[in-house]
Chains A and B, each alone.
Chain A
Amino acid sequence: MRNDEELMNALAGLQSRQPDAEWAERVRERCHARMAQVGRATGPGRTRIGLLEAATIAALWLYVAVILKQVAHTLGLSGPFG
């Protein structure tokens, strides 16, 4: 009968087999791809896209406001913008 320490040493001495190289390469590639995907979604590039989107939306709203004002002017309506 072995004592506890011997048993734990025997466990620590058990070998780990090397992973299959093809499998490991596939996992590595998938993880790199996922990292790039996550990086695009959360990184500084994403902030730049967000600002661009906000600026485009603001410009569109301004354009719509100008059009509405012109329509109102053409119809002879007066309003706060006169």
Chain B
Amino acid sequence: MKTMQHDLATGWVERLQCGDPSVFDEVFDALNPRLLGFLERMTRERSVAEDLAEETWLRLVSNAHCLRPDTNLVAWLYTVARNLFVGHLRARSREQAYTMEWLSLWPDAVARGPYEEAASSEFERRLERALGALPATYREVLLLVGMEGLRPVDAAQVCGISAEALRQRLSRARQMLERTLQLTQDREASR
């Protein structure tokens, strides 16, 4: 599993508060691809993910002077990104409900996610597809812990739930992902 740079991330806050743009560049270069990847897998739309990531970075530089020096910057960034994603979902929920109603008439018309298109192997493609098919609450815990390498306690903080609730959600998410993977495999085998 990937390890998240917690120690470095803690030191970044104090250095950011000095207002040195080169420190921001360092943080941005280290974390932006993963933050954008997380948002892209959550939104399944590159342009929306870019908008949310941009807003996340702007919030960091606007609020850096208010952060405590021991703030876990990685967890803070994912929390802001996740809250922006939730806000985005709320804003689009009515529109989405309407769209999904129509799409349900043509199940094959559901667009593939960008990562599914770019997958390098058949299994990766199925995994991306299965991830994309999970409800957002389960998808996010798998991404935060499984892919981004956040400690469960940090992932719980990002999701605004207790560590125990996260553990249960993660366990359920794993089962759902496994079942979805199995279903897609069976479906493709029967074709």
Q: What is the interface of chain A, defined by CB distance below 8 A to chain B?
A: 1-2, 4, 7-20, 23-24, 26-28, 30-32, 34-36, 38-39, 42-43
Contact = CB atoms under 8 A, between A and B. Distances in A.
Interface residues of B, number: 43
B142 A17 contact: no
A38 B36 contact: no
Contact of B123 (A10, A17, A18, A32): A10
Contact of A2 (B19, B124, B178): B178
Contacts of A11: 127, 131, 142-143, 146-147
Q: Which secondary structure dominates where chain A touches chain B?
A: helix
Contact of A42 (B53, B65, B120): B65
A7 B177 contact: yes
Given A7-B174, A10-B123, A28 B28 contact: yes
A19 B32 contact: yes
A38 B128 contact: no
A8 B146 contact: yes
